[in-house]
Amino acid sequence: MWKQGNYKIKKTLKDSNRSYVLLLEIEGKYFVYKEPREKNRRKWQQFLSLFRGSESKREAFQMLEIENHGFLGPQLQFAYEKRKLGRVIHSFLLYSYIDAEEITVETAEKALSYLHRIHEAGFLHGDSQISNFLIHEEEIYIIDSKFQKNKYGDFACAYEEYYFELSCPTCSFLIDRKRIPYRIAKKWKDLKEWWVKRKTKKREKK
């Protein structure tokens, strides 16, 4: 399927220092090419790749885990790594394009219910902002997920709920804000945000 020159670039979805993402057409089907530029270039990330592989390879494994546990997401095609002296210096990922709609306030309850389903199965989305959920024919799909086992219990679930809420403030009515795990998660997240802003201001003053 994938051969040099047998694809058409239909659209540039993202072109930044962090990542390069393209919508490709190959033999009449649509796919996403994703290159983690920043992590490919960082010396520290290159060193870590000696032990854990590339960002693209890890994301590929996460896609397979999502599918293996019965959740809906992009279909992995393959992950590519180029190494030099054992270190990954270039990598990219190719996966199926999901022709779906973004979540709105009207469909947010379905997305949140899907997040709860992930939690009930003992996993975390890993990046639960609302833009990382899509809907197609009443089915919810997850994208850009750092899918992982939940090692931290109710606190981690509540943290993902709060992160979902932050990305969609008008969805707050869907969240049970009285729960103790939610209150703890909210304070923890807010404290982290305050600390990051404080450090940023200090750097700007120097």
pLDDT at site 90: 93
Domain co-membership, 134 together with 88: no
Number of domains in the chain: 2
Choose one of 61, 96, 131: the last residue of a domain: 96
Domain co-membership, 105 together with 193: yes
44, with CB counted inside 10 A (0-12, 13-18, 19+), is exposed
How far CA 42 is from CA of 127, 202, 203, in Å, comes to 22, 24, 21
pLDDT at site 22: 96
Within a domain: 36: yes
Within a domain: 204: no
**CATH code of the domain in which 177 resides:** 1.10.510.10
Choose one of 42, 62, 96: the last residue of a domain: 96
pLDDT at site 6: 81
- What phi-psi label fits residue 76: left (phi over 0), alpha (psi between -120 and 50 degrees) or beta? beta
Domain co-membership, 193 together with 130: yes
**CATH code of the domain in which 16 resides:** 3.30.200.20
CA–CA dist 83, 36 (Å, integer)? 15
Beta bridge partners of 8: 25
pLDDT at site 161: 95
The two three-digit tokens of residue 175, written as one number: 């969240």
User: 75, 132, 127: which is closest to 102 by C-alpha?
Assistant: 132
The two three-digit tokens of residue 188, written as one number: 């923890």
In this structure, are residues 132 and 144 in contact, taking their beta carbons and an 8 Å threshold? yes
Domain co-membership, 42 together with 61: yes
Beta bridge partners of 21: 14, 34
Q: What is the pLDDT along the chain (206 residues), one digit of tens a residue?
A: 555 568 899 999 999 999 999 999 999 999 999 999 999 999 988 888 888 889 999 999 999 999 999 999 999 999 999 999 999 999 999 999 999 999 999 999 999 999 999 999 999 999 999 999 999 999 999 999 999 999 999 999 999 999 999 999 999 889 988 899 899 988 988 898 888 887 777 777 66
CA–CA dist 31, 46 (Å, integer)? 27
pLDDT at site 4: 59
SS3 assignment, position 30: strand
Q: Angle, nearest 10°, between helix axes 153-167 and 180-205?
A: 60
- CA 104 distance to own-chain centroid: 18
User: 151, 103, 153, 106: which is closest to 128 by C-alpha?
Assistant: 103
pTM score, whole prediction: 0.85
CA–CA dist 117, 205 (Å, integer)? 45
Full 3-state SS string of 98-120: CCCEECCCCCHHHHHHHHHHHHH
